[in-house]
Structure 1
Amino acid sequence: MTVITGLATLTAYGHGTDRLWEGLLGGIPALSPVTRFDLTGRRARFAATLPGEPDLTGELATLIDRACAQAGLTADERATTPLLLARHLTGPVDPPTAALAAACGLRGLERVHTNACAAAGSAVADAAASLALDEYPRVVVAAGQLVGADSFACFDSAGVLAPDGISRPFSAGRQGPVLGDGAGALVIETPEEARRRGAAPLVRLAGWGQAGDAHHVARPHPEGRGTARAVAAALRRAGVGPEAVGYVNAHATSTPSFDPAEAAALHRALGPYVGRVPVSSTKPLHGHCLTAAGMVELAVCTLALRHGLLPVNAGYLGPDPDCRLDLVLDRPRPAAARYALNLSAGFGGTCTALLLEAA
């Protein structure tokens, strides 16, 4: 088990987990017409974006500083703490990315995770594994992606984005996701190190799992085998059974193939308990943050556990017989959940499950 002692986020709702939580409870999607780049020839017109053209490297540096400050890391402790990064790259690591750790006073950039929408979850799992192997007492993980012309064009030309600008996870009539700006940073450390430093855990990372579908480069296995294996591994590491899960923040991208596969994965992994586990995807509200999705949604799970409220699965029109789950609909649901599952999946068949435990 590891603990998270610092956490900072940036979404279209603004800086900070408080702004994210207020937006989720308000239930109003942080969407607006795209003005950041030319939409000539594009079918989709909306995304969850911040004003202007933010600099991602600069935003990541700010988020890392805020997470480290919340964790109470001194300058000397930062200097011995490595950075794991999840970020979309189109080529070799660019100089600003390579210099990010030094700019934040950290030991160095250990690795950059680029495995699509599972990248942030994969980086967190990688950090937890490093702590479990006693490689470091603490690690900083950061992730970020802003809506850009290239990614928007790729998804739009593939006919993936919702043309009406409304994401409808697990719902009948769903037509795809809406992209969103997202970034975040966290400090993860061993419980012993947190106690030594007197740092209060925000949440515990009780277990983690990673797996591959080995099915198709852009479509999940219809039975959700990769995600199911990742969930099983996370539960096994935590030493708990599926009955312990009190909430699932699903990856659900509102696409015809991914949502039923994820529902099948939950039925496979949770068995007879699946009908009593509340599930929601918060992507209709903050957007699909791609490489940073797992970081933003880890923050959502942390906030849900700390506040005792489960965020709504927005945009829902009606049931899909292939997505039989206990969805959180209409309004946030009060719940005294002890464990929450954060699921991520990406092109190439990568699947990640993070099991968070209330601190």
Structure 2
Amino acid sequence: MAHVTGLSALTAYGPGLAALRDGVASGVPAVAPVTRFDTRHHRAHHAATLPGNPDLFEALRGLIDEACDQAGLTVQERAGTPLVLALHAGRDTAAKAVALAAACGLRGVVAVHTAACAASNSALADAAELIADLAEERVVVAGGSFVDPSMFAAFDSAGILTAEGVSRPFSAGRSGPILGDGAAAAVLERADSRPGQPGPWLRVAGWGNTCEAHHVVRPREDGRGPAEAIAKALARAGGPRVGYVNAHATATPAFDAAEAAAILRGLPADSADVRVSSTKALHGHCLEGSGLVELAVCALAFREGRLPVNAGFTGFDDGCPLNLVLDSEQAPETGHMLSLNTGFGGVSTALVLAAP
């Protein structure tokens, strides 16, 4: 079991975990009209963005340093620690990844996960497995995505983004996601790697990966792929009762319905009333950064004793028969949460997260 001893995040709510905590607790989406580039020829015109045009790799360098400092890693410990990344694949991604590890004083890059919206969860699962297999004492995981004109145009031209300016996961009348700036870093360690290490944020207790390759962009209606990822993660964690699911839920009609089916199919029958929400309606869909940002959301939910609401909700949809978190005062019911993210091509990664 991997303990998260250092954690940092940067979202459209601002830098730091406190900004993310306060923004999510407010229930008010960090969404505004896009000013970073011209959207006049697009259907969609909103996103959850930071001011200006920040550089992702510079942001990741700062986040990695912050997470390592919070975990209390020495220069020597950093030098023996590998980096696992979750990033969009580009021509210079590999070279930048190597330079990032060197700039942060880390040993080097073990892997760069590019599995679209499931990339961060896959990177976290990879790191947790390296620790569980005793291959590493600790691993730094980092990743993110900032809204850029090419990705915005690609999603918009495919008709995926909502033109409404509001994302409504699992809700009747939902019409798609809103993209968001998001990046985060986490230090994962074995419990016995450093006696007296800082108290963990949470633990990655189980993980499951599947890739059903059903269709390039359309999900199976029965949710079989994500359901299998959930079942594998629960089995690896020892079958705990999950009290909350932080869902992928991008507010697209087909995907949300398929994910609802997957949650009900993958969890035990006595967990049909588990509380569920998608925080992408609040901080935006951070693509490759989603899983890490949502790990931070879950860690804060454990620490604050309050579940994030399913924002943008207007009414129940028969295709999504879930127990949604609509009250900001609901507390976690058990010491375990599930984080689920899926991506085009049928890739899914589920994480079982345990309270520290």
Give the shorter-chain TM-score range. Answer: over 0.9
1:196-275, aligned counterparts within 5 Å? 196-241=195-240, 244-275=241-272
Quote the offset at 1:48 in angstroms. 0.1
CA contact (8 A) 1:213 1:224 kept: no
CA contact (8 A) 2:205 2:352 kept: yes
Quote the offset at 1:278 in angstroms. 0.5
1:18-167, aligned counterparts within 5 Å? 18-93=18-93, 95-167=95-167
Any idea what SS the aligned residue of 2:328 has? coil
CA contact (8 A) 1:266 1:274 kept: no
> Which residue in the other structure is 2:294 paired with?
297
Quote the offset at 1:332 in angstroms. 3.9
How many angstroms apart in 2 are the aligned matches of 1:202 and 1:275?
27
How many angstroms apart in 2 are the aligned matches of 1:103 and 1:197?
27
How many angstroms apart in 2 are the aligned matches of 1:93 and 1:105?
18
Task: Kindly provide the CA deviation profile for residues 26-77 of structure 1, in whole angstroms up to 9, marking residues without a partner as x.
Answer: 1111011101112131110000000001011100000000000110000000
Query: Which range is displaced more, 19-28 or 211-220?
Result: 211-220
Q: Which runs of 5+ in 2 are unaligned?
A: none
How many angstroms apart in 1 are the aligned matches of 2:71 and 2:236?
25
Q: Residue 327 of structure 1 aligns to which amino acid in structure 2? A: L
CA contact (8 A) 1:274 1:325 kept: no
Task: Kindly provide the CA deviation profile for residues 87-136 of structure 1, in whole angstroms up to 9, marking residues without a partner as x.
Answer: 11222435333200000000011111111000000000001111112111
Fraction of identical pairs, as percent: 56
How many angstroms apart in 2 are the aligned matches of 1:39 and 1:94?
30
How many angstroms apart in 2 are the aligned matches of 1:198 and 1:152?
42
Query: Which range is displaced more, 153-162 or 34-43?
Result: 34-43
Q: Residue 173 of structure 2 aligns to which amino acid in structure 1? A: G
Task: Kindly provide the CA deviation profile for residues 184-216 of structure 1, in whole angstroms up to 9, marking residues without a partner as x.
Answer: 00000111114x252311111111111112211
How many angstroms apart in 2 are the aligned matches of 1:270 and 1:112?
30
Any idea what SS the aligned residue of 2:320 has? coil
Cα gap change, 1:234 to 1:64, in 2 (>3 Å): same
| Structure 1 outlier segments of 4+, above 6 Å | none
Q: Residue 253 of structure 1 aligns to which amino acid in structure 2? A: T
> Which residue in the other structure is 2:274 paired with?
277
Any idea what SS the aligned residue of 2:253 has? coil
CA contact (8 A) 2:71 2:197 kept: no
Calculate the TM-score normalised by the size of structure 2.
Answer: 0.98
How many angstroms apart in 1 are the aligned matches of 2:353 and 2:138?
17
How many angstroms apart in 2 are the aligned matches of 1:220 and 1:62?
36
Q: Which runs of 5+ in 1 are unaligned?
A: none
> Which residue in the other structure is 2:304 paired with?
307
Q: Residue 254 of structure 1 aligns to which amino acid in structure 2? A: A
Task: Kindly provide the CA deviation profile for residues 274-302 of structure 1, in whole angstroms up to 9, marking residues without a partner as x.
Answer: 33210000111100000100110111111
Aligned residues: 356
Calculate the TM-score normalised by the size of structure 1.
Answer: 0.97
CA contact (8 A) 1:305 1:340 kept: no
